[in-house]
Amino acid sequence: MTSSTPAISLEDVTVRYGSQTAVANVSLAVEQGEFVTLLGPSGSGKTTLLNLVAGAFAPYKGTVRINGKDVSHAPTHTRNIGMVFQSYTLFPSKTVAKNVAFPLEIRREPKEKKERRVLDALRTVRLLDHADKLPAQISGGQAQRVALARAIVFDPDILLFDEPLGALDRALRKDLQREIRRIQQSIDVPALYVTHDQEEAMTMSDRIVLFRDGGIVQQGTPREVYEQPASVWAATFLGAANVWPITRANPASGGEVTIETDGFTVTLPASAGDPVVGATSVVSRPEDCVLTSAEVDGVRCHPGSVTAIEYLGTGQNVTVRLVGGPQLVALTSGRGQRYEVGEPVFCHWRPGAHSIVPAD
């Protein structure tokens, strides 16, 4: 194996359950040390793909490789994989240390080596002081960290995560997101992580793979998939978005492009991509829509009125109906200007803040 060999390589794999195709012709590589997240709605096939890597079944078609070795038909126990699930599956009668030691016992590791590895794993997840406690004596977040320690204690080649934080409350999820990422980077083991939580994927990943209907819709860094969506679906699934179908478009000139959508004409700062009438939409994020109480000199502003306000603490979603045109949502500071329903406003967009995306 060389450093350029992917840790995980899926080559044109298809998974079928009887006559139903769950994953179709997917190719994906996870590089050494990389944290890759499969993000998609329930039933999109992301967990099926994870289970394929884990060895729960063989592909109907295609090849699965781990560190360059074809494991398409190899049983799970030969793949040296650490796995963490939403349910901790800890043995209730065993201490934290003995739960972590379980994979080493199966491998019949010598006692001294086993004890050293257990202590190292517990130290990595910051649970050394809880080694002698039973699962009933620790919190849910600590139990998930025990499950993580158990997954890394035998030096796995890769780590697989299947929605491990789905059963935890928001504050605890945030803490464990940082903890999982810290541990993965500290031990430098590549990870494939499954979630349907967009924020979780954005904060943890080196790369996000958007999954839908058994296939990959888009992949890239969190910034790339958020700021340069490949389709209307990708834009709306990964965060909030204002989407307007393009029915007519004038070529960009003077740094602007004029777009007609359902009879309403709006002039926007030009962005990458040439509008194709009838086949594309313009997408903008709420944080890129700027609201003001008066027109701004030198900036093309569009008048409208506030129709709804959603206070979020750190910000507020202000829904605006443009005069003679569509509705949009602008994200403003929670401590910024306060708006009232019915209040007249003007809106403009930050330069280059739009994407021209194809129809789904």
> What are the structure tokens assigned to 196, written together?
């349907």
Q: In 83-98, which positions are buried (b, 16+ CB within 10 angstroms) versus exposed (e)?
A: bbbbebebeeeebbbb
> How much is the pTM?
0.90
Asked if pLDDT for residue 264 goes beyond 80, the answer is: no
252: pLDDT strictly greater than 80: no
Is residue 297 classed as helix, strand or coil in its secondary structure?
Answer: coil
∠ CA 170-197-50, rounded to 5°:
125
> How many Å apart are CA 118 and CA 157, to the nearest integer?
18
Would you state the pLDDT for residue 248? 73
**To the nearest whole percent, how much of the chain has pLDDT over 70?**
92
- Domains annotated on the chain, with CATH: 8-232 (3.40.50.300), 242-358 (2.40.50.140)
Most confident of 188-192, 262-266, 330-334: 188-192
Q: Are 180 and 190 in contact (CB under 8 A)?
A: no
pLDDT of residue 251: 59
Sheet with 344-349, side-by-side order of all strands: 289-292, 344-349, 302-311, 315-322, 327-333
Give the span between the Cα atoms of 35 and 181, in whole angstroms. 8
Mean pLDDT along residues 340-346? 96
pLDDT of residue 271: 58
Q: What's the pLDDT at 249? A: 66
